[in-house]
Amino acid sequence: MNHSLERRSVVVIGAGITGLSTAFALKRQGYEVTVLERASRAGGVIQTFLDQGYLVEAGPNALLLDDPRLEELIEHAGLGAERVDASTLARKRFLVRSGRVIAAPSSLREFVRSPLLSARGKLRLLAEPFAAKGDPSTDESVAAFFRRRLGQEALDYGVNPLVGGVYAGDPNRLSMRQAFPRLYALEQTHGSLVRGGIASARARRRTRPPRARPQSVSFRGGLGALVSTFASILGADLLTGVELHEVASGPPFRVLFQQNGAPPRELSADSVIVTTPAYSSALLPLPGAREALGALVSVEYPPLASVALGFERRDLTHALDGFGVLVPERESLDILGTLFTSSLFSGRAPVDHELLTSYVGGMRNPELAGLPEAELIQRVTASLQKLGLVKGEPVYQRVTRHRHAIPQYHLGFDRVLAALDATQRRLPGLFFGGPMRGGASVGDCIRSGLELAAHIAA
């Protein structure tokens, strides 16, 4: 512990995984941290249920360990012994074409033989190294980027379902440099995704020790174990049921709030970190940050329904030997995709049963996320049957609805980030983080929290 920091105080607004990670990292460095959460529980969209022998994730299902800092955090939190690695089957992914579930090719030989793309589509994709580099001054959409580099067919049957699975989004509206910054950087640096991929692979081979393959993980108690562990460590420093009345500019910042209707309280803090979703952050009583709050109003979050269905193993008509299946928009099914949950991680379903988690809605069909539960379950079941994954009816059902699911980094999102950065410069000690910037996956959000903590410590 750095004793010179013992008197430094930080208020974190929002107890989603970003806020919890930020607070955990700061507390380990000796900061006095208070986390304020409006909801009655911490964790945001991360919530795990143990129900009738099924371990169901209401939100994200896995954490991708693609950064050593994430592994260190798991160990520091004492969760190393609870970690569950995804099955090796997770490396296999499935896509849909003409109603058929087709394994995504993972080698050149598989690519040549795969029916996922026509011969013409494959030849167009192989021409990627010769496509012209995009203009960096133009905010190009994901659809335009991949149509230019890979062709329309690869966009329809590869990129479109990927965007549906990652963002529940519309590739025609998402900004390439914001939604897929690493791929965008490969083109800008190397002029080609293929050349950039080769260069990156060579760089990794020169690394000593060799970098391990990124691993999808969860925990024996699901991702909810992350939330409960951080909440336990923070203890009385995590306050839920909080209504913010005012955050007066500092430093020191003055934070006025009430918890569960109790008399108002006031905190003084050297720094304030905002990690709530954009739609919540836009409503914060932060008079000195009107520019940033006004920009956050424009960020869209489509509705999404997570439908967990349990089946007896005898009712399966597919081996479920992979991570899951993503559905292109052209296939006109009601689901964006389905995770083979019990194939991914052990202990997710009773003996001789399997758990499938399907997602409905998003930018593609937002109205479907609000269907009555019985109709939603019926439509998802029908889609799984059409794809040849199951027969018969599920023996277990659980539906979770997210009114505001995943932030959409639409064209022009640069202006939102610029407004946040300008506000941070004008108000030293105020920081914005979380899925509103830097990525929306669990790993991205944790990384955002660790980077916020490191920035303050620096």
pLDDT at 2 over 50: no
- Select the highest-mean-pLDDT range: 88-92, 246-250, 370-374: 370-374
Q: What is the pLDDT of residue 212?
A: 66
User: Which long-range CB contacts under 8 A does 25-29 form with residues at least 24 apart?
Assistant: 25/73, 25/449, 25/450, 25/453, 25/454, 26/453, 26/456, 26/457, 27/233, 27/234, 27/237, 28/1, 28/76, 29/1, 29/2, 29/5, 29/453, 29/457
Name the least confident of 4-13, 132-141, 442-451.
Answer: 4-13
Here the tokens at position 139 are 């905010």
pTM of the model as a whole: 0.92
Confidence of residue 438 (pLDDT cuts 50, 70, 90): confident
- Residue 351 is predicted with a pLDDT of 97
Is the pLDDT higher at 6 or at 395? Answer: 395
State the pLDDT confidence band at 7, using cuts at 50, 70 and 90. low
How many CB atoms are closer than 10 A to CB 67? 15
Cα 241 to Cα 37: distance, rounded to the nearest angstrom: 6
**Strand bridging mode 238-239 / 32-36:** parallel
Confidence at residue 437, expressed as pLDDT on a 0 to 100 scale: 85
Closest by CA position to 128, among listed 106, 116, 146: 146
Cα atoms in the Cβ-side hemisphere of radius 13 Å centred on 294: 10
Q: List the domains of the chain with CATH numbers.
A: 3-44+67-79+230-299+409-457 (3.50.50.60), 107-206 (1.10.3110.10)
Q: What is the pLDDT of residue 340?
A: 98
User: What is the distance, to the nearest Å, from the Cα of residue 449 to the centroid of all Cα atoms in its chain?
Assistant: 14
Given a cut of 90, is residue 380 above it in pLDDT?
Answer: yes
pLDDT of 4 reads 46
To the nearest 10 degrees (0 to 180), the angle between helices 181-190 and 193-206 is: 100
Side chain identity at 25, as an amino acid letter?
Answer: A
Determine the average pLDDT of the residues in 323-333.
97
Reported as a pLDDT band with limits 50, 70 and 90, residue 3 is very low
Cα angle for residues 140, 159, 432 (degrees, 5° grid): 55
Quick one: what percent of the chain has pLDDT higher than 90?
88
- Whole-number CA gyration radius for the chain: 23
What average pLDDT does range 131-158 have in this prediction? 96
pLDDT exceeds 90 at position 436:
no
